[in-house]
Amino acid sequence: MSKARAKKIKLLLLDVDGVMTDGTIFLFPVAATTRGTAGSGGSSLSNNDMVEAKGFNAHDGAAFSLARLGGLKTGLITKRVSETVRLRARDLKIEHVYQGAANKLIALEDVLKKENLKPEQVAYVGDDIIDLPVMRACGLAFAVANAREDVKDEAHVITDHRGGDGAVRDAVEYILRAQGSLSRCVDAYISDRTSIEDKLQ
């Protein structure tokens, strides 16, 4: 049943925190200046600006290259807003990036219009309850291995790996394998990298 669904997929959408990452969010204060605290002789921070950092998995990075080779488009839908995500999406050539998406269904509807696709042609990878509306609307729903149990209950496929530890790669390979193109995409990926290395020598 899920393999039949995977054969129809043309676009893979992903949550970020807990899917492309392990869910850990690092917040670093920036441009902070200190000032004296009245009557105390001490000091305090006068600027609360933060930089958000996340860790991404290299295996997942390769998954986006495999997806492109297999003709799959990709996109991110996340509630948080992060410059780190924008940069990672640019590096991976991800076509659709929706940050600050409190209602992820709105983002799904927008990307469906842009790509002229039907819901059954879209797969989504999630890990928490905010992902359920999109998972229910898509043709193929993945839950990462460490997703919340109620999310796993509604997924068509549960990845072997945890979020931030290769779950995206699992989803891409599942789709490409069902479509009969995984081996071709892997060969093309290796060939591309070998050609680049030859040129550098």
179 contact partners, CB below 8 Å, separation of at least 6? 6, 7, 9, 70
Q: Which of 21, 3, 7 is nearest to 156 (CA)?
A: 3
Percentage of the chain beyond pLDDT 90 is 69
List, in order of start, the domains of the chain with CATH numbers. Answer: 2-25+55-200 (3.40.50.1000)
- Contact predicate 186/66, CB 8 Å: yes
Q: Could you give the count of Cα atoms lying within 13 Å of 197 in the half-sphere of its Cβ?
A: 6
pLDDT surpassing 60 at residue 199: no
- Residues β-bridged to residue 22: none
Tracing tokens 């000091």 back to the chain, one arrives at: 43
- What value does the mean pLDDT take over residues 143-155? 97
pLDDT tens-digit map of 86-104: 989 999 999 999 999 989 9
What tens digit of pLDDT does each residue of 38-72 get? 444 444 444 457 777 676 778 888 999 999 999 99
Q: Residues, the chain, total?
A: 201
* Range with the poorest average pLDDT among 24-33, 101-110, 143-152: 24-33
* C-alpha to C-alpha distance for 64 and 76, rounded to whole angstroms: 12
Per-residue model confidence (pLDDT) at position 1: 85
Helices (H), ranges, 146-181: 149-154, 167-178
Question: 77 or 27: whose pLDDT is higher?
Answer: 77
Write down the number of H helices and E strands in the chain: 8, 10
Q: What percent of the chain has pLDDT over 70?
A: 85
Tell me the C-alpha distance between 8 and 11, whole Å: 9
Q: Out of 60-69, 75-84, 129-138, pick the least confident.
A: 75-84
Beta-carbon contacts of 195 under 8 Å, excluding residues fewer than 6 positions away, are none
**At residue 110, does pLDDT exceed 50?**
yes
Q: Which of 111, 84, 114, 116 is nearest to 124 (CA)?
A: 111
